[in-house]
Structure 1
Amino acid sequence: MRGRARSLQARLLLWFIGAILLALGATAITTWITSSDNDYPSRVVTRHVQQRVARLWDDPVATDRYIAELREDTGLDVRVRRDASMFGGQGRMRPGGMIFEGDVAYVPVQRRGETVGALEIRTGTPPPRPWRVGVALVVALLALSLGARRVAMRLAKPLEHVAATAERFGAGDLDARTGVDKLSRRWVADEVRDLGRSFDGMADRISRVVVEQRELLAAISHELRSPLGRARVALEIARERSPDRALTDSKVGDALVLQARALDDVEKQLGEVDVILGDLLASARAGLADLRRQRIDVPAWVRERAKTETTGPVEVVLEKKSAAAEIDPALLGRALHNLLANAWAHGHPKAEPLVVTVRAAEDGFVRVEVRDRGPGFAAEILPRAFDPFVTGTGAARSPGAHGIGLGLSLVRRIVEAHGGRVFAANVDEVDEGEATGAVVGFELPPISAPKAAADKLAS
């Protein structure tokens, strides 16, 4: 699947986390703005006790009586400290004027702006720590984030499934469907369900048209081969019935020579038509998802396939000794044959073998390239070398070359059906002031290559 800057799941998760943080921040700001120190009950009680003790401070008996009542009413261990020295120590001021030291809280008693003593309250438990509040907030944020992540995954997964199905369909799997009606209605939005149904309907129509066109093309190509076969038989019969030129006079002999040339030309034209029909038949199969794949060692396959070529001598260079791939040998063999035939038809010297090299590409793909020593591609043709009906002209095409420009186009269709890619470039070498030769080929993904995200989601 084409790489995305950020997935839909990540976007939803970030939005959820942002909303949570925004809500927490808004709550904190609102509380801080609207709250007042006088609003807290603990502060009101503390201030009341401070004021009462301050009024009774000069009367120790009355002070002790009030502390006894306070101890009895609250159940707290409250004592009077008439020494203010503890406030010079390392205490932490808390809201309400309290100072905590361990499990002891001190409530300062002030008279005329000066601290004269304190109430000592033994709580039995340490005071709340600020870091505990922070930890609690972090834990709450993590819990909310995990929940938000799950919700984001649930919301995004159906749409990602539709996108993965569309990518599989675009890659040639005409049977790929979203099947949104089988998904849980709880997490699939109506808009996503409508999108999936629309895609499935479109895929049904497109696959039906594509299959019908390919079947029609294959049927036409097959039917045309029958009269071609009969025409070849008729040519052989005509040759056999022709009298021996050595037994005839010169005029008849000259006529027979012309007749033989005409028969040879007809046979050549029939051969070219047969090649075109073969390309059409292969094109009808290329791009289909039901390729007859086999696990093949590509370097060994190229070496054996080159031995069966009748177009001319071929030299195989194996820079990569072993590389397995799942290919359709017959269909990919047609692609390799077209590369070789294209090189022979466009100026490669007949006396020199074509060089086929198998090497490893940078990203782990298996690279098969054909190197010729012809005139190379014309500058205006090179970017469109694999487009249908593009043929060489001028110096980039041999005088006897024929074809309608389907050879390299078929190579691309076959290779892309295997999940690979094609390439073409002129050679940088220079011979007598002119660039000489071209490199054309394809790259196949190895079996060890990871599967597409679409396959993972579909499973």
Structure 2
Amino acid sequence: MTTVRVRLTLIYSGLFLLTSVVLLVTVNLLLREALRARIAGLTLTPVAPTAPTRGAPDDGPMPQLPGLVDDVIDYQWGVTALMIGILAVVSVVVGWLVAGRILRPVHQITATARRLSVSNLHERIALSGPKDELKELADTFDAMLDRLERAVKGQRRFIANASHELRTPLAVQRAAIEIGLPEDVGEIRDKLLFHNHRTENLIDALLVLAQAENGLDNRQPVALDEVVRLVLAEGGSDEVTVTTRIEPFVVDGDPVLLSRLVTNLVDNAVRYNHPGGTVGITLSQGILTVRNTGPDVPRERCGDLFEPFRRLHTTREQGTGLGLSIVASIAKAHGADVRANPNPGGGLELVVVFAGSRDARGVGSRPSGTA
């Protein structure tokens, strides 16, 4: 792919060489015609005879002048060819340097755009220099970042306020159900508590999803192997057998979000399984794999698993439909890649490949938008 700098260099060098060649060729042609005209004038002008000098030849220098002109012109053309070669090299070098100098503000804008994320929207290009088109482009980009930063801050304030405003009435509602309803309406009481708990989980999942899609504010080294062990110690099911093979691995990220990622993967593997099934969890060389038995999953439907509120199967304990969507968003925020592959005989294999891992696996299916 030809870069803008290469194209500018070729344009500068081409124009400079074209001008130089036209100038040198024109000068050589005019010089040749001028010399020949002067020599012709000298040979046609009568000259008074003079006594020959002792020891000098009788024929004068006039017959040798046309040959001398040809020698001078040939020499001039040789020098011209050499100068054109030297100018070609010099023009390419100078054109490359000038193009780089002109494009330096563009590189600064590009570097800033690549470095920006939700966590460092406060950075600006702040391009210095004359008020030209590049300065106007950089200032426009900075103004866009100002608007984007204000929008992200407003969204974060909304998430924080919504988290408080939505959880508080649900907690009050749950307390009223547990305390206010008598024991003789136990079936109704249990159903109300079930839906209250499900609504709390849905709101919590939506807030986590919004937080993950907003990116990470602060990163810190997190021992992913310890996170996996802690999640397995706190959860689990007696209906399935869980096997593990965990190696140490450290991720720069958010420990709370990483814990939620592992929790959702394990919960999904346990929920969408059958009694007596198995769940295999492997963490090796930065690749987290959760494999389970269960119902068949069509390969062409694997990508739908990462879409919000998409379910391929129903279970006795219906989820919110956001578990794997949250996994994909958290993985993307950590620069990881999520893959889903159906297992032969039923079940699913979910793979999270973190940055810096040695991935020797196939591509598989992945959610759109993941890193």
Is the Cα contact below 8 Å between 1:327 and 1:418 reproduced in 2? yes
Match for 2:166: what amino acid?
A: L
1:358 and 1:368 in contact (8 A); partners too: yes
- Is 1:437 aligned to 2:347, yes or no? yes
For the Cα contact (< 8 Å) 2:228–2:259, is it kept in 1? no
Greater share of helix residues, 1 or 2? 2
Residue type of the alignment partner of 1:315: T
- Structure 2 residue 134 is the aligned partner of structure 1 residue 214: no
1:255-294 matched pairs, under 5 angstroms: 256=184, 259-288=185-214, 290-294=216-220
Q: How far does residue 235 in structure 1 lie from its aligned partner after superposition?
A: 4.9
Match of 2:279 among 354, 357, 362: 354
Quote the Cα distance in structure 2 between the aligned partners of 1:304 and 1:136: 74
Give 1:96's aligned residue. 70
Q: CA deviation at 1:322?
A: 4.6
Quote the offset at 1:409 in angstroms: 2.0
By how many angstroms is 1:65 displaced?
Answer: 9.2
1:325 alignment partner, one of 240, 245, 251: 251
Provide the identity percentage.
24
User: Which of 186, 202, 226 lines up with 2:168 in the alignment?
Assistant: 226
Residues 1:328 and 1:170: Cα distance change in structure 2 (over 3 Å): closer
Q: Which residue of 2 aligns with 1:184?
A: 129
Deviation at 1:330, TM superposition (A): 0.9
In 1, the alpha carbon distance for the partners of 2:155 and 2:235 equals 32
Partner of 1:122: none
Partner of 1:13 in structure 2?
A: 9
Change in Cα spacing, 1:400 to 1:168, as seen in structure 2 (3 Å) is farther
Give the Å deviation of 1:444: 1.9
Is the Cα contact below 8 Å between 1:344 and 1:350 reproduced in 2? no
- Does residue 106 of structure 2 align to residue 159 of structure 1? yes
Return the alpha-carbon distance in structure 2 between the equivalents of residues 414 and 344 of structure 1. Answer: 20
How far is the alpha carbon of 1:276 from its aligned partner? 1.8
The correspondence for 1:384, drawn from 290, 300, 304, is 304
Post-superposition shift, 1:413? 1.9
Out of 310, 313, 331, the residue aligned to residue 415 of structure 1 is 331
RMSD: 4.1
Which of 169, 172, 193 is 2:135 aligned to? 193
1:315 to 233, 243, 266: 243
- Of 87, 91, 106, 1:144 maps to 91
SS at match of 2:138: helix
Q: Which residue of 2 aligns with 1:295?
A: 221
Q: Following the alignment from structure 1 to structure 2, what is the Cα–Cα distance between the partners of residues 27 and 401? A: 86
**What is aligned with 1:455?**
none
Point out the structure with max Rg over C-alpha: 1
- Contact residue 303 and residue 316 of structure 1 kept, 8 A: no
Contact 1:171 1:417 in 2 (8 A): no
Cα distance change of structure 1 residues 10 and 317 upon mapping to structure 2, 3 Å threshold: farther
CA 1:26–1:301 in structure 2 vs 1: closer, same or farther (change >3 Å)? farther
Matched to 2:15, the amino acid is A
Pick the aligned partner of 2:266 from 318, 326, 340. 340
CA distance in 1, matches of 2:157, 2:125: 26
Deviation at 1:326, TM superposition (A): 1.0
Seen in structure 2, the aligned counterparts of structure 1 residues 343 and 229 have a Cα distance that, compared at 3 Å, is same
C-alpha separation in 1, matches of 2:194 and 2:113: 45
Distance 1:161 1:10 in 2: 18
Q: Deviations over 1:222-279 (max 9, x none)?
A: 222223333444455469x74xxxxxxxxxxxxx4xx334333333323322222222
Change (3 A) 1:303 1:156: same
Please state whether the residue corresponding to 1:194 is helix, strand or coil.
Answer: helix
**Post-superposition shift, 1:184?**
1.8
- CA–CA separation in structure 2 for the residues paired with 1:209 and 1:171: 11
> What residue number does 2:290 align with?
370
Residue 60 of structure 1 and its aligned partner are, at CA, apart by 8.0
Q: TM-score, normalised by structure 1?
A: 0.62
- Change beyond 3 A, Cα 1:30–1:203: same
AA at the equivalent of 1:193: K
Runs of 4+ in 1 over 6 A off after TM superposition: 132-135
- For residue 86 of structure 1, what is the aligned residue in structure 2? none
1:397 aligns with 2:330: no
| Counterpart residue number, 1:446 | 356
Give, as a single letter, the amino acid of the residue that structure 1 aligns with 2:70: G
For 1:401 and 1:19, the matched residues in 2 are separated by 74
Q: Is the 8 A contact 1:306 1:314 kept in 2?
A: no
| 1:15 counterpart letter in structure 2 | I
User: Which residue number in structure 2 is paired with residue 61 of structure 1?
Assistant: 54
* Larger strand fraction of residues: 1
- 8 Å CA contact retained: 1:424, 1:438: yes
Q: Is the 8 A contact 1:287 1:413 kept in 2?
A: yes
Name the SS for the 2:157 alignment partner.
Answer: helix
* One-letter identity of the residue aligned with 1:204: D
Q: Report if aligned partners of 2:281, 2:291 keep a CA contact under 8 Å in 1.
A: yes
- Check whether the contact 1:221–1:280 (CA below 8 A) recurs between aligned residues: no
Shift of the alpha carbon at 1:297? 4.2
Once the 2 structures are TM-superposed, how far is the Cα of residue 151 of structure 1 from its aligned partner?
1.9
Query: Is the contact between residue 291 and residue 350 of structure 2 (CA under 8 Å) also seen in structure 1?
Result: yes
Q: Given the two structures, how large is their TM-score scaled by the length of structure 2?
A: 0.74
Q: In 1, Cα distance between the equivalents of 2:230 and 2:284?
A: 16
Return the letter of the residue paired with 1:444. F
> Structure 1 376/293 Cα, relative in aligned 2: closer, same or farther at 3 Å?
farther
The CA deviation string for residues 301-345 of structure 1, in whole angstroms up to 9 with x for no partner, is 354244344143643334xx4544311111121122122222333
Given that residues 119 and 216 in structure 2 are in contact (C-alpha distance below 8 angstroms), is that contact kept between their aligned partners in structure 1? no
Structure 1 unaligned regions, length at least 5:
50-54, 71-92, 99-126, 243-255, 361-365, 449-459
2 CA distance for matches of 1:447 and 1:136? 56
